[in-house]
């Protein structure tokens, strides 16, 4: 009887029948690892860009607020009825909040004055120097806090 010829040009010996499947699985594993590393790098890059943007907006808000305070008249907090919120807060983008704290200090030592017990919004003296703290929050999380001084001129 005549020997049947295989329809395929290449016939695997019995010992190599699963080799192609293993090669495909190893290639898929390597491809998965490379894709995972690439997606991790993209995620890290996105987070870094977001943090950088938040910091940039916070720094801009802080500079704008200090410029606004610099251009405002000096507020003497030893006068009854004066409250630190009298310095106007600048407009903020959506999601950002700004807190402003003003405390009179002793010019030479930078020690803070205390509040007068009779009026909680009045300091016992104001010698012409104030420490101003601006805190910027984005979606409830503090992004930046900066201190500066304003002098009466």
Q: What values do phi and psi take at 140, rounded to 5?
A: 85, -5
Pairwise CA distance, residues 127 & 109, whole Å: 12
Please give the span between the terminal C-alpha atoms of the chain, in angstroms, as a whole number: 117
Which has the higher per-residue pLDDT, 21 or 18?
Answer: 21
Q: What is the pLDDT of residue 118?
A: 46
β-strand pairing of 96-104 with 129-138: antiparallel
Dig out the tokens for 64 from the structure.
Answer: 């704008």
Q: What is the pLDDT of residue 104?
A: 82
Q: What is the pLDDT of residue 67?
A: 95
Residue 82 has pLDDT above 70, yes or no: no
Q: Minimum mean pLDDT among 31-35, 41-45, 58-62, 69-73: which range?
A: 69-73
Residue 77 has pLDDT above 70, yes or no: yes
Residue 24 has pLDDT above 60, yes or no: yes
Among 129, 135, 134, 148, residue whose Cα is nearest residue 74: 129
Which has the higher per-residue pLDDT, 71 or 114?
Answer: 71
Confidence of residue 105 (pLDDT cuts 50, 70, 90): confident
* Torsion over CA: 107, 108, 111, 117 (sign): negative
> What's the whole-number average pLDDT of the chain?
82
Pairwise CA distance, residues 123 & 82, whole Å: 9
Q: What is the pLDDT of residue 52?
A: 96
Among 121, 128, 136, 131, residue whose Cα is nearest residue 65: 136
Confidence of residue 95 (pLDDT cuts 50, 70, 90): very high
Q: What is the pLDDT of residue 49?
A: 97
């Amino acid at each position: 009887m005549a020997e049947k010829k295989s329809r395929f040009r290449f016939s695997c010996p019995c010992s190599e029948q699963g080799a192609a499947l293993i090669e495909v699985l190893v290639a898929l594993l390597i491809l998965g690892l490379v894709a995972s590393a690439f997606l991790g790098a993209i995620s890290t890059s996105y987070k870094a860009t977001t943090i950088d943007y938040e910091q940039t907006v916070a720094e801009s808000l802080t500079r704008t607020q200090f410029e606004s305070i610099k251009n405002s008249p000096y507020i003497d907090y030893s006068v009854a009825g004066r409250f630190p919120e009298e310095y106007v807060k600048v407009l903020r983008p959506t999601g950002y909040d700004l807190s402003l704290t003003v405390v009179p200090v002793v010019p030479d030592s930078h020690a803070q004055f205390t509040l007068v017990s009779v009026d909680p919004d009045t300091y016992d003296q104001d010698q012409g120097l104030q420490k101003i703290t601006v805190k910027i929050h984005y979606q409830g999380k503090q992004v930046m806090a900066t201190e500066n001084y304003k002098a009466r001129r």
